[in-house]
Structure 1
Amino acid sequence: MPVFMIERRYADDLELTADDADGVNRINADEGVEWLYSFLSADKRKTYCLYEAPSAEAIRRAAARAGLPADVVVEMSATVRPDGSMAPL
């Protein structure tokens, strides 16, 4: 399944509870999307999230249903390691 990186920008600091995450995961499952993990910026106003999904549109649909921004959605093709080697995703 394709892997995507999503940048999300928030107007306020992000406060996420276990219940919030559960709701997002339920919506994602309906769209065939799996949230792998996220990085939170120091100011708590941006996240960089890694997802598996059938398409960028599926991610956008899930985000809209969950009330989340999806400002940038980019499909990833490989990882690059510190030694310069690449591994396909």
Structure 2
Amino acid sequence: MPRYLIERTFPDGLNVPMNEAGADALGGVIMRNAEKGVTWVQSFVSPDKKHTFCVYDAPSPEAIRSTAQMNSLPVDKITEVRVLEPYFYR
């Protein structure tokens, strides 16, 4: 399955509470993603919480855009990526 890097901008900052409500919100994202065969692997958040860089496995960019819309998440850019391991080369 292809892997993608999704760049998002949150003008007011990303706010996910560190409690049951936050866990429920993220669980809902995971559930809705699964409906389209999309798996959220990992995300990186800028210190100001206005930008995220998310790694997803998905069948297509269209599936990512569709789930983002269902989850009310912005999508600035989707780039297909592959892993480059620094220890692969001798």
Decide: shared fold, TM above 0.5.
yes
Percent identity over the alignment? 43
Quick one: which of 67, 73, 79 aligns to 1:74?
79
Structure in which a larger fraction of residues adopt strand: 1
CA distance in 2, matches of 1:46, 1:3: 19
Matched residue, 2:4: 4
Task: Work out the CA distance in 2 between the residues paired with 1:39 and 1:77.
Answer: 17
The TM-score, its normalising length taken from structure 2, stands at 0.86
Give unmatched runs, 5+ long, in structure 1. Answer: none
* Residue from 45, 56, 59 that aligns with 1:54: 59
> Are positions 1:18 and 2:23 aligned together?
yes
4+ residue runs of structure 1 moved beyond 6 angstroms? none
- Rounded to whole Å, the distance in 2 between the matches of 1:37 and 1:78 is 14
> How many residue pairs were aligned?
84
